Chains A and B, each alone.
Chain A
Amino acid sequence: MSALTHAVNTVLQQAEDPADAKAAAAATSAGFAYGLAAIGPGIGIGYLVGQAVQAMARQPESAGQVQTTMFLGIAFTEALALIGFVVFILLKFV
Chain B
Amino acid sequence: MGTIDFAPLWITLKTGIVASVFSFFIGIAFAELVINTKGRVRAFWDGLLTLPMVLPPTVAGYILLRIFSTRRPFGSFLSNSMGIQVVHTWLGCVVAATIIALPLMYRNARAAFEQIDENVIYAARTLGISEWKVFWKIRLPMAKPGIISGVTLAFARAIGEYGATSMLAGNIAGKTSTISQQIAMVIQSGDYATAGFWCIVIIAISFACLVSINMICGKSKGIKRKRKNNVAHSKNKKTVG
- Say whether A associates with B: no
